[in-house]
Amino acid sequence: MARGATHYVHSNGVRLPKLIGQTAYADRTHVICSVDAGLADTYRKMKNRDYLERVWNNLSAYIAAGCRVTLKYIVREDNLSEADLDAFVARALAIGARHLIVDIDYDFPDPTPDVVLAIARLWHRASRAGLEVSYGFTGDNFAVENKVGDRVRAAFEREQLQAIGRTLRCENYAVTDCVDRAVDDLVSTLHAHCDAKDAAIHALHDELALLKAHCDAKDAAIGSLHNALQQRHALSWY
């Protein structure tokens, strides 16, 4: 690394090398860690170890030392719960992680619809939270013939549309099955509101211009009166 090399650490995150806290080149270390769970109970059942908290602490230490950390989440039938996905995203944000890879299990190259949906949901929620998310790594790259990526992207688009629908409903907009039309209506409403606001600002600007002209005329009249009083005072002195 002192000569400019970048070191990749593919790790389960259970151990933290002591040199990480001592090297001046931590920024040339790229850690890729497959956490695969949001809840401790899920992690324990999957990996037969109660190490989730240790993993998060070690990943946090990598980030604090200046390393680039990419999290992975291999979605399977036993870690796709809403609670796991939400807990994972929350903890990733808490340690300051910025990069996430979502993938299918290498041993299950043709995932169920539930797994595909969970991948899309994790992708969507992590993206909304500000993480840079990419799909596909070891699992999908070795099963391209199943076109899982196309299924995941379609599910991801549905998640986005559903999220738009929920947002519009929260703002009391009527949403039909044609969500894009509802968005068009919303944008049109916003444009009309902005146009009205711009017109009001222009009207206020004109009123201020008239007020300034009035004040200028008043100041001129006061100046004339002041000059007349000075002249009168000078004549009376003579």
- Supply the Cα-derived Rg of the chain in whole angstroms: 32
pLDDT at 171 over 80: no
Supply the pLDDT for residue 172: 72
Confidence at 120, pLDDT banded by 50, 70, 90: very high
In terms of pLDDT, which residue wins out, 61 or 174? 61
Read off the pLDDT of each residue in 125-149 and give the average, rounded to a whole number.
Answer: 92
Taking all residues of the chain, what is their mean pLDDT, rounded to a whole number? 88
Read off the pLDDT of each residue in 218-232 and give the average, rounded to a whole number.
Answer: 84
Read off the pLDDT of each residue in 32-50 and give the average, rounded to a whole number.
Answer: 96
Nearest of 100, 155, 91 to residue 132 by alpha carbon: 100
Structure tokens given for 25: 């080149």
Confidence at 46, pLDDT banded by 50, 70, 90: very high
Read off the pLDDT of each residue in 200-220 and give the average, rounded to a whole number.
Answer: 85
**How far is 176 from 164, CA to CA, in rounded Å?**
12
* Residue 144 Rama label (left phi>0; alpha psi -120 to 50; beta): alpha
**How far is 89 from 78, CA to CA, in rounded Å?**
17
pLDDT digits (tens, 9 = 90+) for 100-113: 999 999 999 999 99
Amino acid identity, residue 27? D
pLDDT at 117 over 90: yes
pLDDT at 187 over 80: no
Confidence at 191, pLDDT banded by 50, 70, 90: confident
| CA trace torsion 49, 54, 56, 58 (10° rounding) | -130
